[in-house]
Amino acid sequence: MSRRLAFVCLIVSFVSSSGAASGDDLERFTQLRSAELRYGGRVMFLAVAPGHEDLAAAARYRAVAGAQIRVVYLTNGEGSIVEPSVLFPNQVAAVAREQAYHATTALGADHVFLNLAYLDGASSVEIVRDAWTTDTLRARLRGQVEEFQPDLIIVNGLERPETPRVLASEVLSHLSDVLARIASYRRHVPAVVAVAEARQRARAVESRRTRAERVTNALLASGRAAYAARSAVFPLKEPRYRSLAGYPRTPLAAVSDVDALLRRAAPTSLRSIDSMSRAFADQVSGWRSVPRGTSADRVLRQAVPLLVQIDTWLQVNPRDREPDRRMLLDRRAALEAVRLRVIGAEAFFRVSDTVLTNTQLTYLTIDSVRGVGPAGESQVLFPMVSKGWILNESPENKAALVTGTPYQIVSSRDIPHDLPRELSGLEQNRFRTPWNFFVIHRAAQPERSFSLRVDARLYGAPRFSVDVLTPIQMAVPGERLAVRITNNSRDGVRDTLEVHDAYVRSRPMYFRMNAKGSTEIDTLDLEFDDGYPDGTSVTDVLIGLEPVARFLVRKFPVAVDRTATLAVVGGSGATVTGLAVRRLGVPAQWIDPTNLAASDLSGVRTVVVPEWSGRSLESSGWSALRTFAEQGGRVIVLAQHADVTMALPGSPIGEAVPDGTTDSTTALTIAAGDPVTLGPNPLVSESWEGWINRRVPHRLTLKDVGSEVPVVVGDDAIPGIVRWSVGRGSFTYVNLNLHHQLLNAHPAAYRLLANLTAS
């Protein structure tokens, strides 16, 4: 029995915030602010999943046009596979959402998740409509368009070969209907909707000679760094774009053509404001350092008349002039950012507890605020009071600014739960629910007055949570159930964690959690009775005698050749394949992928390369596998990335393209008499019922080279398993989506793996 223990006690945050964002370099700041003051506009990226958005286009619109960016993700990407890790779909989604959050934050962009189910394979429109109901999809799309009011929408992800065509058609059809409905109310709709196509063109290499190019590249690099583990999602070429019918009616220019797609002449009523804004932008653009002293006073005095004109126009003109109002609101925000940078406004504060449950007390202490002069008045505004939060036991939402004295803040009764990220966090439309307060300073000199928004970075969570990290188990020896317990209350907890069922049990695990924010991960060793019934059952996890969580247990017969001599690249728990081999009980040697070339394979008959792990093998490792096969060994390679697939030693595979045509019901045709499907576990087409996600990750095109294809998929006869000779041995490539099936403990997937490894 093993146990990993981690305590996170009284999370205390020391945070500073300013109008310039801590660490923001001057070149980036001046480029972004001057672009916002000259041009502006709003661009919405509609992406199927995290990693699908065109970051290069987003970086360019942000740096060159000064556009406000919002990336709307239809799904959380829970069905995607990035690395050969043993992560369940909800855990993959949590990782993908966090990466998307950091990528958009690096660009200075907003993000929203629509939280639709990830469809990895859909051969009919009925499948799409069953998962994404028409009313839900349209309501969520409409909400985003009406709230953000974009000038340009860029659609990404539908062009990817793994995206089902019927899904792409549905999304574009509903988007068209939503825009038509909004336009019928005489509301603002984008002039252009650009839809990425599968066709690509060489991505332009920026010269880095201009500041705009340098900032574009810096933003792009920061955004991509957030997706470091998903480098494969970014093509070396950028997509071409076509326009959605009617948006615009004229042919679409290149999506990177900022002038054609965003910039427009200011109306007559705004010519004076536009001229002043551009002149101020020219001044900001020429900064070599942030103005201080009398230079700062001069800049602030120049900004005030422009702010007054903008505020006057916004008050006088009716709200139905949406494009003009949005442009002025965005320019006003840019002006305020410049003013805050010049004033040097920055707040330093502490929060006693950053993770809060319903109606829980925390203390926020503002230690100091830069930019506040000796004369004038300062207040702190807490807008969250309007959503049920309580400030200093009072219904008021503001208080005088007093440094060093804590403000008492009580969370609302229905605080959104951002944590745990893999559970309730997936129900939120943002990675973290924003929690802002404002420091408002009215200075003796009006130009030095400011309103500083500060993100307190508070998180909502349940008082006590029990999360099963390995929710699907098999009734075999050696199964271990990982359970995470988190106590966010201020009450101490001491009890036992265990599984006690008629057919399965574990030893009680004692835990003690005295501090708020304590987290403990316990691993329960499961013991199954010999009479455990075949099938799927649900079992409770108990604290004391109370059920607090549940997990699945599957049991089915599998015939295993225990005389097989097997080696698996990677550890027994590092990949889903390694986990499956351990569960089958096949004696195996575990090989470090970085040391494959030096490994002794003399007593091994078969080597298995787990799913998606081929990139971790160096060229010397693949050479060692070729030599192993030439000497009579067998190499079983499960599904890999396309570049690895086409480079396998002696491979007859000429092309591997991600597949979007198959789904979980596409027919598998099995060659009669092939040893892979005959025994020790006979497999027939009916064996594959209950599959999840698409059947194959890639559509393979085979060269005119001798090979055997014992399994094909669909009417197009996509190779599901390919076997070819290398010297006196062989390579077998399994182009089936076994990753999710093994993770889901699908009987046929385990029986196929047992057949592949049998002597």
Least confident range from 79-83, 92-96, 158-162, 380-384: namely 79-83
- Contact criterion met (CB below 8 Å) for 473 and 527: no
Minimum mean pLDDT among 302-306, 670-674, 713-717: which range?
A: 670-674
**Digit-coded pLDDT (tens) for 509-537:** 999 998 998 999 999 999 999 999 999 99
Least confident of 8-17, 422-431, 453-462, 527-536: 8-17
Contact, 721 vs 645, CB < 8 A? no
Does the pLDDT value for residue 234 go beyond 80?
no
pLDDT at 457 over 90: yes
Q: Between helices 134-148 and 165-184, what is the axis angle to 10°?
A: 50
Res. 123 pLDDT band, cuts 50 70 90: confident
Distance CA 497, CA 467 (A): 12
Amino acid 250: pLDDT: 62
Q: Which distant-in-sequence residues (6+ apart) come within 8 Å of 259 by Cβ?
A: none
pLDDT for 82 equals: 60
Nearest-angstrom CA–CA distance, 671 and 711:
6
Spatial neighbors of 595 by CB under 8 A, at least 6 apart, are none
Q: Is the pLDDT of residue 559 over 90?
A: yes
Closest CA to 247 of 198, 196, 189: 189
Assign 677 a pLDDT band (cuts: 50, 70, 90).
confident
Look at 76 and 319; give whichever has higher pLDDT.
76
Average pLDDT over residues 321-332: 88
Task: Find how far residue 338's CA is from the centre of its chain.
Answer: 32
pLDDT score recorded for residue 10: 31
- In the chain, the amino acid numbered 21 is A
Residue 141 amino acid letter: L
Angle between helix 26-38 and 322-343 (nearest 10): 150
Instruction: For 257-276, write each residue's pLDDT tens digit.
Output: 666 677 666 777 788 999 99
pLDDT band at 324 (very low <50, low <70, confident <90, very high): confident
Cβ neighbours of 602 (radius 10 Å): 8
Q: Is the pLDDT of residue 8 over 50?
A: no
**pTM score over 0.85:** yes
What pLDDT, on a 0 to 100 scale, did the predictor assign at position 253?
59
Q: What are phi and psi of 479, to 5 degrees?
A: -70, 140
pLDDT tens-digit series, residues 458-474: 999 999 999 999 999 99
What is the mean pLDDT of the segment spanning 207-226? Answer: 87
- Which residues lie below 8 Å from residue 86, measured CB to CB, with a gap of 6+? 573, 574, 575, 576, 579, 743
Q: How far apart are CA 224 and CA 166, in angstroms?
A: 29
Please state, as a whole number, how many other Cβ atoms lie within 10 Å of the Cβ of residue 604: 18
Average pLDDT over residues 117-136: 92
Lowest mean pLDDT among 81-85, 302-306, 419-423, 539-543: 81-85
Residue 15 has pLDDT above 50, yes or no: no
At 571, is the secondary structure helix, strand, or coil? coil
Instruction: Assess whether the previous peptide bond of 680 is cis (omega < 30° from 0).
Output: yes
Residue 729: pLDDT band (50, 70, 90) is very high
At residue 485, the 3 state secondary structure works out as: strand
Report how far residue 612's alpha carbon sits from residue 569's, in angstroms, rounded to the nearest whole number: 11
Residue 538 burial (CB count, 10 A): 9
| Residue 215 Cα to chain centre, angstroms | 24
Distance (Å, whole) CA 110 – CA 262: 19
- Residue 240, pLDDT above cutoff 90: no
pLDDT digits (tens, 9 = 90+) for 608-653: 999 988 888 989 999 999 999 999 999 999 999 999 999 999 999 9
> In this predicted structure, what is the pLDDT of residue 17?
46
Min mean pLDDT across 414-423, 590-599, 745-754 is at: 590-599
pLDDT digits (tens, 9 = 90+) for 171-182: 999 999 999 999
Lowest mean pLDDT among 5-14, 121-130, 263-272, 579-588: 5-14
Please give the average per-residue pLDDT across 156-182, as a whole number: 94
How distant is the alpha carbon of residue 614 from its chain centre?
A: 23
DSSP string, 666-731: --EEE-TT-HHHHSSS---GGGGTT--S-S-SEEEEE-SS--EEEEEETTTTEEEEEEEEETTEEE
Q: Does 205 score more than 80 pLDDT? A: no
Looking at the predicted structure, is the pLDDT value of residue 702 above 80? yes
pLDDT class of 13 with cuts at 50, 70, 90: very low
Provide the pLDDT for residue 249: 63
* Position 619, amino acid: S
* DSSP for 78-109, written as a single string: TT---SS----HHHHHHHHHHHHHHHHHHHT-
Examine the pLDDT at 202 and tell me if it is beyond 70.
no
Model confidence at 232, pLDDT cuts 50, 70, 90, reads very low
Partners of residue 522 on adjacent β-strands: 3, 483
Among the residue ranges 154-163, 409-418, 564-573, the one predicted with the least confidence is: 564-573
- Among the ranges 153-162, 239-248, 253-262, which has the highest mean pLDDT value? 153-162
Residue 225 has pLDDT above 60, yes or no: yes
pLDDT class of 239 with cuts at 50, 70, 90? confident
Here the contacts of 586-591 (C-beta below 8 Å, separation 24 or greater) are 586/560, 586/561, 586/562, 586/754, 586/757, 587/562, 591/567
